[in-house]
Structure 1
Amino acid sequence: MTMKTTCPYCGVGCGLTVETDKVGGLSLSGDTEHPANFGRLCVKGSALGQTLGEAGRLHYPQVDGQRQSWQQALDQVSERLQRTILEHGPDSVAFYLSGQLLTEDYYVANKLMKGFIGSANVDTNSRLCMSSAVAGYKRALGADAVPCNYEDIELADLVVLVGSNAAWNHPVLFQRLSRAKANRPEMKVVVIDPRRTATSELADLQLSLRPGSDISLFNGLFDYLVEQGEIDSDFVQQHTEGFEAAWAQVRNQARQNRAESDCDLDSAELKQFYQWFADSPKTVTLFSQGVNQSSHGVDNANAIINCHLLTGRIGKPGAGPFSITGQPNAMGGREVGGLANQLAAHMGFDRADQINTVARFWKAPNIATQPGLMAVPLIEAIERGQVKAIWIMGTNPVVSLPDSDRVARALAGCETVIVSDCVADTDTSRTADILLPALGWSEKDGTVTNSERRISRQRGLLPPCGEAKPDWWILSQVAQRLGYGKAFAYQSPVEIFREHAALSGFENRGERIFDISALAQLDQQQYDALQPIQWPVTAACPEGTPRLFADGRFVTPNGKARMLAVSPSKPKQQPDKQHPWIINSGRIRDQWHTMTRTALAAPLFQHRQEPFIEIHPDDAKQQQLAEGALARLHNAQGRFVGRLRFDEGLRRGNLFVPMHWNQQFCSQGRSGALMAPVTDPLSGQPESKHGVAALQPFEQRWQACLFVREPLETEPEVDYWARTPLVHSQLYRLAGEQAMADWPRWCRQAMGQPTLWLADAQQGQFRAAGIQQGQLQWLLLVIDSEQRIDPDWVDQMFALASLDRQQRRRLLSGRDCQAEPKGAVVCSCFQVGQRQIEAAVSAGADSVEQLGHELRCGTNCGSCVPELQQLLEVGALSRSA
């Protein structure tokens, strides 16, 4: 059977075609008809089939650590919520949601809390990624309405990427841009980012500005455009307001020549960017986390939008300010009001008539009348005891929120923590009093909305795992137990979707741009067959609306867009003598969020196998730090230990750490532990791109590799460990700051009596293995700093049904384990390593196509192509030298 659904990863919202057979087998490919990806998939999407199954799933409800029936668990949830509300009021409870939820799940959660419990304490992990863009759009355009679509990127003459490593974070969109540029070489691409990233390989110009100086850069652009007369005077006069105030602010900055000094950029490069922008009526500015995750992220967004309004580059083909952040349904969550400062259907708490509209539509007895607690203040309220019960759905805030150690302590001290998830063991679930098994991606049925406002169906492909249930069903059952049964008598997702669509059009006389009321009468068959469509979807536009604001009318009372006077300001977290390093955190190519899904696909771990700290080589030399050595970052919030990677693309004094690792995969690798809970005052979005910390070497006395058949039940009692899933085994990299007195004793305590072992006290080496019924169960290799272990060879030993005498000797000798034939994996699809690619380049391969012909790398998803280009450039430089 063939079905179509959507990818559960980033906000690009790629379509998938899935083939299922009668025995539960499944194969997937990109949907060639889906307008977001036209059949393309990134490496994560290509590996989705490897993340399915029962491994690591939460199978049944648990209350206080004991298995319970659904009836018992739901009774406990409702009783504890009811008791808390009666004793402390509705604001003593909260929901924390996720962009992994479907729109229908989000809708029910928001309706229950804001309409019936009577509190607006509903926030979402989308607060961490795009809330600054939301606030920026609302201030300027009057609504959270992304004005562009993906086609605009291909139509543009100039594409500006600001704070976006799209090559890794939105790979399919980046591939569309790459193909457009290949077809139109005259297209210009500018990358604005303190780091040189994989995205920089496509750039005609890279502006490696000082972190946090985006407002100065775009205010400088605004000044240049006015001074050069490159503005659309008619558009400004007829369709905008606020120009004089914005221009006054910019003039004040321009007199101080702050763009060049604040950004620490070469004046010629700065002028080149400004002139390209002036010369390109078709300009799309793509902005992402580097803009949003800031203590002045909203102002960053408005500085960008100002330049587009000044030149009339909005609502036109190939032009517009385009936020490309988000999860698969971050925008769907915003549509239903999933943020604490929203109500529903793009209505808010700042207008009494809109509160009344929602209350009457829902027939809500206890409608919330003011905004609730955003993510970071919500944790602070839990810590104070103000919020006494929280229900967390589909997300892992103990890893993703700033000051994550504090988050863990706050949840551990909370009276009632309810967690709905499909994963059994997360940092957050370890704090839960009640665990509820939710459906996973391949089982859920509903809708999602991507970054270009395109609603797509997500369809259930497989039966539920264990006793898992849909989130909307779980919420509805609790609502019924709380006494709200009539309003939550849903039997299927289509009923919820129809209600959501009807609310979007209820008493909406064109003043709310989010309107999908033309879909409010869909029957089950039509819902099942729903094709991807961009809102608004109204009686006047039943086929959807690809581009907004083409008529120059915006969603403000007078129909005019607003230019905002924004002033440059520094990030709140500033380095000092105790914490001299600036810390930037972000995603890597092959992992997603906190790895609860991607960690199930072993090939996705081969590109970056453990937590790391990227540092400029000159900084490392000055600090006498060696590449590949472990180092520790620390500050007032917490600690992070990672392996040093040299990167000449970093600014001096800046470090980069990944955001994905959690307590299931490392000892001290949560980047959130380093980030202070500093937020933008308007959006509440944390400043996750500009932390500060001290850096020191990890004084390693020994290191070892421990291979085990299954993950250890308890964490290794060592100073450092990091786990890497392999195909047939699990690799734990271990290290200690104190000498190990007795390795045989450690083995017996941690792993049991070794079947084989070999010690060399003079060389400080120890090797031991556990074998049961001929099969390898575990292998410990204590190694020196110069040795390199080839995990693939060892992993294959775990695949054997029985080890013969020669294979046992080879394990203990350690010689075969030390080979590293391919190096670090670059192409995850075909497991092609850096050394293999370098050898092919040395032998004469001079193009990505030739490397693909010889090694297959870059021929599947294309996610590795930017790195292949980097290796080709290095090879060309070596030959010319």
Structure 2
Amino acid sequence: MGPVRSTCPYCGVGCGVLLSADGEGGLSVKGDPDHPANFGRLCSKGSALGETVGLEGRLLSPVVEGRKTDWDSALDLVASRFRDTVAAHGPDSVAFYVSGQMLTEDYYVANKLMKGFIGSANIDTNSRLCMASTVAGHKRAFGTDTVPQTYEDLEEADLIVLVGSNMAWCHPVLFQRVLAAKKAHGTRVIVIDPRRTASCDGADMHLKLRSGSDVALFNRLFAEIWDSGALDREYIRHIDGFDETLAAAGVADLSVTGLTEAEVAAFCRIWIGTEKVVTVFSQGVNQSTSGSDKVNAILNCHLATGRVGKPGCGPLSVTGQPNAMGGREVGGLANMLACHLDLENPDHRRAVRDFWSAPAMPEAPGLKAVDMFRAVGEGRIKALWIIHTNPAVSMPEADAVRDAIAACDFTVISEITPETDTARLCDVLLPATAWAEKDGTVTNSDRTISRQRTALPIPGEARPDWAILAEVGRRMGWSAAFDYESPAEIFREHAALSGIAGGFGRDFDISGLADLDDAGYEALAPARWPIRAGRQGGRFFADGAFFHPGGRGRMIPVRYRPPAARTAPRYPFRLNTGRIRDQWHTMTRTALSPRLSAHLAEPYLDIHPQDAANMALAPAALVQVRSPEGSAILRARITSDVLPGELFAPMHWTGETAPSGRIDAVVAAATDPVSGQPESKGCVVAVEPFRAVWYGFAVSSARLDPTCSYWARARTQAGWRAELAGGTQVEDWEAEARRLFGLPEAEVQSVEDRARGVARIALHEKGRLLAAIFVSPEPVAIMRDYLVSLPGTDAADTLTGRAPADRPDPGPVVCSCFNIGANTILSAIETEGLMTVDAIGAALSAGTNCGSCRSELAGLIARVRTREAAE
């Protein structure tokens, strides 16, 4: 039997993977060379998927009030509590908060249960945090949430503009396609981002605009399109709103961008003068209180020039989750109906209600994510079901969300592990299948539907999400509507409903798959929608035919609005949050991989050297970040990658990995008035040094559970590592080390200078190192990447904190795909004369898989050149 063809569970690129089970619970993962999204390439996260499928920490039985129970008891409780709550308080007293980690079939059943049978639109998804502004912008311009372009346009384009997208780290496989196009036929790349990111190293221009000012920039571009005579007059005969949009664009104030007139003029000249332009946009555009306006400012420019839906020519939104698109297709957002039908359109509601034979259908949108959790906190929502997401960490004002969930009358969580911040708060935990055990479909950013297939047996009593939801629907009294036996059956129903949407003239129509039998579903190859009689795939809108009534498109007049929160002496900095290369969301999966945890092992704050100097902040110091909503403690990284007055922090760390690093506790829940998407990249904060009494670094062969003021824990190949800091003095470090590691009887080796506040403690058993801690009144200077390899070895020289001459320290991991450290690369650069990134790849393989470390490789080369020039 050959490998199973499936799909990667991370970003919206939708890479195909080949999965081979070893029969012992393990899994090997390779890229699928035949999948049209990746042609065999995988990023560092995808390459490490096999390290994340073990059963350690898995939820394998239903749990009610902290005790294991059987499925019958758990599901009866869920069904009765939701049914009784609706009966007593109405359908809007309950809510589902779901996730782009769900498969389309799971999403479909959840949406059908809530909207068609419970009768509320209170179902929203964590896609609200990443894609809602794009949905709103698409609908305002096109009439439907339609992505016009395809990935092939990246190869066809002569200019690619990345707006608010660090594609090199967040969508590495797509970025490799961009770089390949650049190499093959000279495609130019422009990055528009307040930060210098890894994507800038492949760019011809970087516009480092101030956070939130994208509308002003694209309004200037629109005005220049008019002034230069680049308007496609024939195309805009199909578009409404041109005069109003031109009037709004004509008053654009470039000063808010922080860019010079020369920079903007050069950008406009290149954009206007290049016919084949693809503008790629992502979270830096969406996660804003003006996110929808930013999207429409970009779309306006493409509509004005007729550069939409043509090969190599148009706007391309790239999604952050593997099935964000599938969730949008089934109506998983609170303001949508299934199959891109409109919830507030009575004809659409009637058609869906009749198709489902549903007893109820809401007539107005439900609560979007931020408002949903506010309603939970206020007691208006009394029963809540959260599926495959961690809002106690990922929502803005995360502390308030955590408290709201904890206080909710009845909360159900469907999860694969009980060890998340959110799972620890619920009444009922339901064990769901994990990625490699799931069976269904997902849709990627360019509308390609791919199969996700089961490669590992379902462990314990875990069940698929669609099966759990359907069983609750049956127990609530709707047996016929939820009498599903397989995901193929659900998919056929979804496809048939899409045919009704197609009859209304909507874009999403996969009715060509409605008669797919089980064997056909099992064998389904990647296919881009629409899929109907007479058409499969392709692009939209090149012909000027849109989905608004009358078939016309719309330009939306937009004006620059600053982020909701204003900087002030008390909160002088603006904070941008986002993703890093090797971690995913709240690390429930990626933190299981030692090599993914080796690149950046703790939460950090990027701060400009000028701002650091004003605070007398030393490199690697800890800082406290405060806002009106909360606080976090992070490691300072002093870098000119950010602008003065602007900061960046990753969003991944949780109460399980670094409790004080939960950055969304700091982020205000200000939202876009059109999309409801939170502004995760523009809150205001204060920063001050965190005055620790002591700093520590620990390694251990077993998991350690610190209790100090600051800690960040990560897996290693040999066990665990942790950064530590405390606000109170420790009197007995040997006793503290034994408590920290849970080793009261271990042999001890120690060096301690109480006067200087220095301690080094190693704990052994029969000559084998079990754990060690290094303490200092300043951040500890030791060879961390050597020390993390020592647990389980004889390690006689542990307390030196340095590698012996015959065992060099590899240094911090740079290339996660091949686990290659900075010192290894620097040594090769110096001894072998490897003065190009490609030369490093040829010698060490670093940078030759997903390529997302190439910018760091270039930085190491530059470091050597700078040092040589100074000698």
Q: Which residue is equivalent to 1:687?
A: 679
Label 1:344 to 1:264 Cα distance change in 2 as closer, same or farther (>3 A): same
Give 1:566's aligned residue.
558
Q: How many angstroms apart in 2 are the aligned matches of 1:478 and 1:232?
A: 54
- Quote how far apart the aligned CAs of 1:866 are: 2.3
Contact kept, 8 Å, 1:789 with 1:820, in 2: the verdict is no
Secondary structure at 1:12 match in 2: coil
- Contact persistence 2:436–2:454 (CA under 8 A): yes
Match of 1:378? Answer: 372
Change in Cα spacing, 1:745 to 1:432, as seen in structure 2 (3 Å) is same
Aligned to 2:797: 810
Which one of 578, 581, 585 corresponds to residue 589 of structure 1?
581
Asked if structure 2 preserves the Cα contact closer than 8 Å seen for 1:299 and 1:566, the reply is: yes
Residues 43, 817 of structure 2: 8 Å contact kept: no
Map 1:105-120 to 2 at 5 A.
105-120=106-121
Alignment of structure 1 residues 792-811 onto 2, 5 Å: 792-800=785-793, 803=794, 807=795, 809-811=796-798
Q: Does 1:56 align with 2:57?
A: yes
1:870 matched to 2:864? The reply is: no
- Alignment CA distance shift 1:786-1:723 (3 Å): closer
Contact 1:331/1:453 (8 A) holds in 2? yes
8 Å Cα contact 1:790-1:817 kept in structure 2: no
- One of 467, 472, 478 as aligned partner of 1:473: 467
Question: In structure 2, do the counterparts of structure 1 residues 538 and 97 end up closer, same or farther at CA, with 3 Å as the change threshold?
Answer: same
2:229 is the alignment partner of 1:241: no
Q: Secondary structure at the match of 2:661?
A: coil
Give the Cα–Cα distance (whole angstroms) in 1 for the partners of residues 70 and 40 of structure 2: 42
One-letter code of the match for 1:727? Answer: Q
Q: Which moved more, 1:548-557 or 1:669-678?
A: 548-557
Match of residue 210 from structure 2: 210
| In 2, Cα distance between equivalents of 1:287 and 1:381 | 32
Deviation string, structure 1 residues 603-624 (Cα, Å, up to 9, x no partner): 0011101010111112211211
- In the alignment, what sits opposite 2:695? 703
Q: Please tell me whether residue 829 in structure 1 is matched to residue 817 in structure 2.
A: yes
2:125 is aligned to: 124
Question: Is the 8 Å Cα contact of residues 812 and 822 (structure 2) preserved in structure 1?
Answer: yes
Report if aligned partners of 1:439, 1:469 keep a CA contact under 8 Å in 2: yes
Whether 2:149 is the aligned partner of 1:179: answer no
Task: Please state whether the residue corresponding to 1:345 is helix, strand or coil.
Answer: helix
Deviations 1:282-322 (A, max 9, x none): 11100111110000100000000000000000011001111
| TM alignment of 1:634-713, pairs within 5 A | 634-712=626-704
SS of residue matched to 1:668: helix
1:791 Cα deviation from its structure 2 partner: 4.0
List aligned pairs for 1:302-341, cutoff 5 A: 302-341=296-335
* In structure 2, distance between residues paired with 1:20 and 1:823: 33
Stretch moving more, 440-449 or 765-774 = 765-774
Correspondence 1:286 to 2:280: yes
State how far apart, in whole Å, the 1-side matches of 2:628 and 2:859 are.
37
Q: How far does residue 792 in structure 1 lie from its aligned partner after superposition?
A: 4.5
Closer/same/farther in 2, CA of residues 798 and 478 from structure 1, 3 Å limit:
same
Moved more, 343-352 or 35-44: 343-352
Map 1:686-765 to 2 at 5 A. Answer: 686-712=678-704, 715-750=705-740, 751-753=742-744, 754-758=746-750, 759-765=752-758
Q: Residues 548 and 75 (structure 1 numbering): CA distance in 2 closer, same or farther, change over 3 Å? A: same
Query: In 2, Cα distance between the equivalents of 1:799 and 1:880?
Result: 43
Task: Name the structure 2 match of 1:859.
Answer: 848
Residues 163, 291 of structure 1: 8 Å contact kept: yes
Residue 647 of structure 1 deviates from its aligned partner by 1.6
1:450-529 to 2 correspondences below 5 Å: 450-506=444-500, 508-509=502-503, 511-529=505-523
Q: Is the 8 A contact 2:284 2:681 kept in 1?
A: yes
| 1:589-608 pair list within 5 angstroms | 589-608=581-600
Give the match's secondary structure for 2:37: coil
TM-score, normalised relative to structure 2: 0.97
- Alpha-carbon distance between aligned partners in 1 of 2:789 and 2:578, rounded to the nearest angstrom: 33
Instruction: Give the number of aligned pairs.
Output: 864
> In 2, Cα distance between the equivalents of 1:431 and 1:817?
47
Shift of 1:877: 4.8
2:684 counterpart SS class = strand
d(CA) in 2 for partners of 1:788 and 1:89? 60
Instruction: Give the distance between the partners of 1:796 and 1:220, measured in 2 at CA.
Output: 54
Question: Which whole-Å CA distance do the structure 1 matches of 2:182 and 2:58 have between them?
Answer: 43
The whole-number CA distance in structure 2 between the counterparts of 1:365 and 1:574 is 47
C-alpha offsets along residues 588-647 of structure 1, whole Å, 9 cap, x if unaligned? 000000000000110001110101011111221121101111111011111111111122
1:7 corresponds in structure 2 to: 8
Conserved 8 A contact 1:721-1:733: yes
Unaligned runs of 5+ in 2: none
Partner of 2:388: 394
Q: For residue 184 of structure 1, what is the amino acid of its counterpart?
A: H
Work out which of the residue numbers 596, 611, 615 in structure 2 matches 1:623. Answer: 615
TM-score (norm 1): 0.96
Q: What is the DSSP-based 3-state SS (H/G/I as helix, E as strand, rest coil) of the residue aligned with 2:403?
A: helix
Equivalent residue in structure 2 for 1:449, among 443, 446, 449: 443
**Cα distance in 1 for residues equivalent to 2:682 and 2:800:** 47
Q: Say whether the 8 Å CA contact 1:393–1:420 is kept in structure 2.
A: yes
Corresponding residue SS for 1:190: strand
Q: Which deviates more from structure 2 when the two are superposed, residues 499-508 or residues 817-826?
A: 817-826
What residue identity is the alignment partner of 2:249?
Answer: V
The one-letter amino acid of 2:715's match is: P
DSSP 3-state at the match of 1:678? coil
Map of 2:191 onto structure 1: 191
CA drift at 1:879: 4.5
3-state SS of paired residue (1:327): coil
User: How far apart are the structure 2 equivalents of 1:350 and 1:817?
Assistant: 70
What amino acid does structure 2 have at the position aligned with 1:105? Answer: D
What is the DSSP-based 3-state SS (H/G/I as helix, E as strand, rest coil) of the residue aligned with 2:687? strand
Q: Which moved more, 1:547-556 or 1:491-500?
A: 547-556
Q: Distance in 2 between matches of 1:387 and 1:363?
A: 26
Give per-residue Cα distances to partners, 1:220-271, cap 9 Å, x unaligned.
000011011111011112x2111011112122x15xxx12x12111111110
Moved more, 750-759 or 351-360: 750-759
- 1:696 match: secondary structure: strand
Aligned residue in 2 for 1:777: 770
Q: Is the Cα contact below 8 Å between 1:201 and 1:870 reproduced in 2?
A: no
1: distance between equivalents of 2:560 and 2:757? 56
Q: Does 1:222 align with 2:222?
A: yes
Structure 1 distance, partners of 2:292, 2:541, is: 21
CA RMSD between the two structures? 1.7
Contact 2:785 2:811 survives alignment (8 Å): no
Cα distance change, pair 81–559 in 1 and its aligned pair in 2 (3 A) = same
Distance change in 2, residues 1:705/1:390 (3 Å): same
Q: Which amino acid aligns with 2:288?
A: S
Task: Tell me the amino acid that sits aligned with residue 822 of structure 2.
Answer: Q
Contact 1:757 / 1:766 at 8 angstroms: preserved in 2?
no
Report the 3-state secondary structure (helix = DSSP H, G, I; strand = E; otherwise coil) of the residue aligned with 1:249: helix
Counterparts in 2 of 1:786 and 1:611: CA distance versus 1, 3 Å: closer
2:403 to 409, 413, 428: 409
> 3-state SS of the aligned residue for 1:631?
strand
Measured in 2, the distance between the counterparts of 1:744 and 1:619 equals: 39
Q: Between the two proteins, what is the percent identity of the paired residues?
A: 49
SS in 2 for 1:107: helix
CA change 1:665–1:265 in 2 (3 A) is: same
Letter in 1 for 2:628: A
Tell me, in whole angstroms, the C-alpha distance in 1 between the residues paired with 2:93 and 2:37.
41
1:767 paired residue number: 760
* 8 Å contact from structure 1 (residues 791, 817) kept in 2: no
Deviates more, 1:720-729 or 1:759-768: 759-768
Residue type of the partner of 1:83? D
Mapped partners of 1:852, 1:550: distance in 2:
41
